[in-house]
Amino acid sequence: GATATSREVPADVDMDALSAQFNGPFIGNNNYDLEMAIERRAQGKIDAVAFGRLFISNPDLVERLRRGAELTIAPRESYYGGGAKGYTDWPVANY
């Protein structure tokens, strides 16, 4: 979905069928968590995953995923609205 709108995929849209018809890398990016990313990659349903929103509030996202550290969920209103507060000022985790 577009920013600030629903990210739900309509019930009548079969993403697996769409990806099977696409002749190129298929990147999953809608509400994935690490478990879902690993599972769908292992099943060959995606080629890669984009964790866009999670990177906003977790500048060290890769390390957090590696360590199983808690993820910070940013409030949607902080994504794009003018200014750095809530968009580029999230701290890294303490390991």
Q: Are 50 and 61 in contact (CB under 8 A)?
A: no
pLDDT at 3 (0 to 100): 52
Its pTM stands at 0.74
Which pLDDT belongs to residue 82?
A: 65
- Same domain? 56 vs 46: no
Q: Are residues 76 and 87 in the same domain?
A: yes
Q: What is the number of structural domains in the chain?
A: 2
What was the pLDDT predicted at 71?
A: 94
Q: Region 28-52: what's the mean pLDDT?
A: 91
Which amino acid does the sequence have at 84?
Answer: A
- Confidence tier at 7 by pLDDT (50, 70, 90): low
Report the first-to-last Cα separation within the chain, whole angstroms. Answer: 34
Answer with the residue of higher pLDDT: 75 or 68: 68
- Tokens coding 12: 């009548």
Give the phi and the psi of residue 48 in degrees, each rounded to 5: -160, 170
Tell me the pLDDT band of 10, cut-offs 50, 70 and 90. Answer: confident
Identify the domain containing residue 43 by its residue range: 10-50
Is 5 among the domain residues?
no
Are 62 and 84 part of one and the same domain?
yes
Same domain, 58 and 83: yes
Say whether both 58 and 38 belong to one domain.
no
Residue where the block lists tokens 């349903």:
45
Structural domain contains residue 4: no
